[in-house]
Amino acid sequence: MSKYKEIKGFKVQTLASDTAASVASTGSWAAGTSMNTARDYVGGAATSSDSALIFGGSAYNVEQYDGSSWTEKTEMNCPNAVNYARAPMGTATACIAAGGSASYSNLVEQWDGSSWTEIAELNTGRGFGSASPIGTVTAGLVVGGLYANPGQATANSELWNGSAWTETNNLNTARSYDAGLGTSTSALVANGQAVAPGYVVSNTVETWDGSSWTEVAEINTARGRGVAAGINSTAAIYYAGSTGPSTVKAQTESWDGSSWTEVADLATARQRGGGGGTISSAIMAGGNANPPVTGATEEWTTTPAPTFQQINLGQVYYNSTSNAYKVTQQPISGGTWASGGSLNQPRGYNSGAGTQTAGMCISGYNPTVITNVEEYDGSSWTEVNDVNTGRSEGGGSGTQAAAIFAGGANSGGRNETELWNGSTWTEVNNLNTAKDNVQNTIGAQTAALFAGGYIPGPNTRTTETESWNGTSWTEVNNLNTARNLMAEQGTQTAGLIAGGTTGSLSSLHEQWDGTSWTEAGDLNTARQRLAGSGTQSSAVVAGGLAPSATAATEFWNGTSWTEVNDMASARSLGGSGTPAGTSSATLVAGSSDPGYSAATEEFTVPVTNSTITVS
């Protein structure tokens, strides 16, 4: 007889730990043994959570950690004042301490596991450089720092060959209190204070290939005075630091060679501590918790690589450790907004296209019509070729390689349509009726809808819908309710519009099936000038006027709208959503109220492992 499982069932994998996006995302911090002497402004050399050397700082003794206890070791030869903020490289048993704070010293000492010996001096005296090891006692780098009274941030880099220092190609961005890791041929430097004196933190990150520095994706939270760990430029974690003189951080972020992701926080927020290690085993010791100065030690560990299982959306498995069945989901309710790169030109009433990592901001207004177009790569905006006719409140959709921009306002309503091929805009056949006051078109460059809006001639809102076949516009069945300034998303055969104004703020929501519009569940918050992204069965709308600027965000699951996490800043978006984005990954850029803004926010929904419960 056949078993039911063989007919209808499926195998459920048994795992000892939850699946995860990366090894770093499985990491957590745990308390270690505190140092004998609390201190900050320290240098640290570490290879793992159970092998570290902390030297100098506000207390001058040297301590070594073996994973369970700290042991005092031989002190440095340099004057105590130089001990502050020395740049380290190497391990707990063989390291170099370079520079120092007193008069921005060029002194260098080498540790052999039992004593310190003065060796060749730096070419440029400095202090407050990279606070994590870059290299070994035979090959390494000292990068950035402060030099010359009253202290100026430097981009200077010096390369160590085991016997002498040689000036090499500088960082692209001068900085002090930066954090570094890696080797003399594959290194990374993150964050820091971009200028001095003063306190202007940086989120810039640069990698070293043995000959030059290249700027890569910025870290999520700009800060200085933190620590980095990793063995090369392709995998790292950055933790602790401060965003201002009295604002210390516990955040940890991981680097996968292309982007930064927030992972587990330290238990104690602090700055100016020491540590290092790898993305799987690292340490944080000492620092200033504002106040007090602390000797606290925390150890970072991850799920061992052989046990690690890559996360797989939709996977069902049994966690034998927690004795629970789990499913990997992406619940929109867990989505959050985070700051993205700012537009080069502030604006409102702009249109959008593309995705969260390949977006477009098209035209707009501030305080005159803008022809400018910018593209987003997931971290920064770059200006590309302008539209031929600048317009505000026009309709945009499509992708970075193939976008459409139609209608809008410029000395009255416009009917122009322009297509983008990835490098230039070309005027094509016009809309049948000139209109503005829309947020976006619906669909793609070759198959789009333009619904509703405002016809300036008779000064009336419209129900008109026009369909684009890649060549021309054709009038199709109208909306049920005339309106303008609503969110629009979806495709030419499965579209969605929500909110807007009918003369008063609207919560109405209509769906298009390729032939006609049908009213569906209303928004929770009536509003106009909102942005939208997603599909007819899974969509997100955000911001708008309700009647003042709002940060409210709502999710449509195909049946009803649910309020989810708000944006960081209330704004009337003027059509700056990414209509080709998804409900789990979208962005908004610019603002028309309050004020014209360059700010970008990204909405991202994490993939999570949820326990399956039976109700």
pLDDT in tens, 359-382: 999 999 999 999 999 999 888 899
The encoded tokens of residue 42 equal 């320290």
Query: Where do the DSSP E strands lie in 113-259?
Result: 116-118, 140-143, 146-147, 152-153, 157-160, 165-168, 179-182, 187-195, 200-208, 213-216, 227-232, 235-239, 242-244, 247-248, 252-255
Distance separating alpha carbons of residues 336 and 608, to the nearest angstrom: 13
Is 411 found in the same domain as 275?
Answer: no
Is 217 found in the same domain as 114?
Answer: yes
Radius of gyration of the chain from Cα atoms? 28
Whether the predicted pLDDT of 7 surpasses 60: no
Whether the predicted pLDDT of 151 surpasses 80: no
Whether the predicted pLDDT of 2 surpasses 60: no
CA 295, 297, 301: angle at the middle one, nearest 5?
170
Q: What's the total number of domains in the chain?
A: 3
* DSSP codes joined into one string, 418-437: EEE-SS-EEEEPPPSS--B-
Please confirm whether the linkage preceding 306 is cis (ω < 30° from 0). Answer: no
Q: Is residue 45 part of a domain?
A: yes
The encoded tokens of residue 376 equal 């987003």
Is 290 found in the same domain as 367?
Answer: no
Is 296 found in the same domain as 323?
Answer: no
Is 320 found in the same domain as 293?
Answer: no
Max CA distance (Å), the chain: 88
Is 250 found in the same domain as 324?
Answer: no
Whether the predicted pLDDT of 86 surpasses 90: no
Please confirm whether the linkage preceding 292 is cis (ω < 30° from 0). Answer: yes
Parent domain of 439: 334-607
* Nearest CA-CA partner of 485 in 465, 466, 503: 503
Least confident window among 299-308, 417-426, 513-522, 545-554: 299-308
Provide the β-strand partners of residue 589: 600
Domain stop point among 282, 301, 320: 301
Helix or strand run (H / E) with residue 8: helix 4-8
* Confidence band, pLDDT 50/70/90 cuts, at residue 499: very high
Q: Is residue 456 part of a domain?
A: yes
The encoded tokens of residue 418 equal 């322009």
Q: Which of 18-27, 172-181, 604-613 has the highest mean pLDDT?
A: 172-181
Arithmetic mean of pLDDT, 442-461: 93
Give the residue carrying structure tokens 């619906």: 442
Is 359 found in the same domain as 272?
Answer: no
CB atoms within 10 A of CB 172: 13
Is 12 found in the same domain as 41?
Answer: no
Residue 99: left (phi > 0), alpha (psi -120 to 50), or beta? left
Sign of CA dihedral 175, 286, 233, 117: positive
Q: Is residue 306 part of a domain?
A: no
Is 384 found in the same domain as 322?
Answer: no
CB 587 within 8 A of CB 335: no
Q: Is residue 1 part of a domain?
A: no
Domain CATH number, residue 362: 2.120.10.80
* DSSP codes joined into one string, 302-367: ---TTT--B--TT-EEEETTTTEEEEEE--GGG-EEEE-PPPSS-BBS-EEEE-SSSEEEEEEESS
Is 509 found in the same domain as 458?
Answer: yes
Q: Is residue 612 part of a domain?
A: no
Q: What is the pLDDT of residue 198?
A: 66
Q: What is the pLDDT of residue 147?
A: 83
Arithmetic mean of pLDDT, 113-135: 90
The residue count for the chain: 615
3-class secondary-structure state, position 301 = strand
Q: Is residue 415 part of a domain?
A: yes
Is 589 found in the same domain as 498?
Answer: yes
The encoded tokens of residue 348 equal 């409102």
Helix or strand run (H / E) with residue 7: helix 4-8
Q: Is residue 615 part of a domain?
A: no
* DSSP codes joined into one string, 63-122: EEE-SS-EEEEPPPSS-GGGGTTPEEEE-SSSEEEEEETTTTEEEEEEE-SS-EEE-PPP
List, in sequence order, the alpha helices (H) in 114-226.
none
Whether the predicted pLDDT of 183 surpasses 60: yes
**Tens-place pLDDT, residues 293-349:** 999 999 999 988 778 888 888 889 899 988 999 998 889 999 999 888 899 999 999
Q: What is the pLDDT of residue 13?
A: 86
Is 413 found in the same domain as 329?
Answer: no
- Give Cα separations from 236 to 40, 231, 279, 369 (angstroms): 23, 8, 6, 44
Q: What is the pLDDT of residue 144?
A: 92
